Amino acid sequence: MRFISLGATALAVTLSLSSLPAFAQSGELTIWSWNVAASSLKSTLEGFNKQFPDIKVNVIDLGNHQVFDKTLAACAAGGDGLPDIVTIENFEAEIFWNRFPECFANLKDLGYTPEIQAKFPEFKRTELEVGDVAYAMPWDSGPVAVFYRRDFYEKAGVDSATIKTWDDFIAAGKKIASANPGVVMAQADFNGDSEWFRMISNEQGCGYFATDGQSITINQPACAAALEKIKQMKDAGTLTAAIWDEKIQSNTAGTVASQLYGGWYEGSIRSNSPKLEGKWGVYLMPSLTAGGPHAANLGGSSLAISNGSQNKEAAWTYLNYALGTNEGQIAMLKSFGLVPSLLGAVKDPFVLEPQPYWGGQAVWSEILGTLPKIVPSRGTAFQSDANEIFKATQTKYFAGGYPDAKAALDDAANQIASATGLPIAE
The answer to whether 402 and 408 have CB atoms below 8 angstroms apart is yes
Query: What distance in Å separates the CA atoms of residue 16 and residue 31, rounded to the nearest whole number?
Result: 24
- pLDDT at residue 383, rounded to an integer: 87
Region of poorest pLDDT, from 248-252, 348-352, 392-396: 348-352
Give how far the C-alpha of residue 348 lies from the chain's centroid of Cα atoms, to the nearest Å.
20
Q: Is the pLDDT of residue 167 over 60?
A: yes
315-328 pLDDT, tens digit per residue, is: 999 999 999 999 99
- Is 60 exceeded by the pLDDT of residue 279? yes
Q: Which helix (H) or strand (E) holds 239?
A: strand 239-241
The DSSP H or E segment spanning 280 is strand 280-284
Kindly report the average pLDDT of the chain as a whole number: 91
CA dihedral in degrees (356, 357, 361, 362; nearest 10)? -80
Please tell me the predicted confidence (pLDDT) of residue 337. 84
Q: How far apart are CA 10 and CA 150, in angstroms?
A: 37
Residue 5 CB neighbours (<10 A): 9
Domains of the chain, each with CATH number or no CATH: 8-142+299-360 (3.40.190.10)
Q: Which regions of 294-391 does DSSP assign to beta strands (E)?
A: 297-305
**% the chain with pLDDT above 90:** 79
* CA atoms of 108 and 146, how far apart (whole Å): 37
Dihedral (Cα; 8, 10, 15, 21), 10-degree rounding = 170
* Residue 6 zone, left/alpha/beta (φ > 0; ψ -120 to 50; rest): beta
Q: What is the pLDDT of residue 22?
A: 40
Could you give the CA distance from residue 233 to residue 288 in angstroms, rounded to a whole number?
Answer: 12
Name which of 43-52, 97-106, 261-270 the model is least confident about: 261-270
Residue 91's pLDDT is what? 82
3-state DSSP assignment of residue 3: coil
How many C-beta atoms lie closer than 10 Å to residue 310's C-beta? Answer: 10
Which segments within 73-212 are labelled E, that is strand? 85-89, 129-130, 133-134, 137-149, 186-188
Q: Name beta bridge partners: 256.
A: 184
Listed residue (346, 137, 92, 143) closest to 264, CA to CA: 143
pLDDT tens by residue, 190-216: 988 899 999 999 999 999 999 888 999
pLDDT at 24: 54
At 17 the pLDDT is 41
Beta carbons of 194 and 385 less than 8 angstroms apart: no
The per-residue pLDDT for range 15-38, each reduced to its tens digit, is 334 344 444 578 999 999 998 899
Range from 111-115, 284-288, 383-387 carrying the lowest mean pLDDT: 383-387
Q: Which residues neighbour 400 within 8 Å (Cβ) at sequence distance 6 or greater? A: none
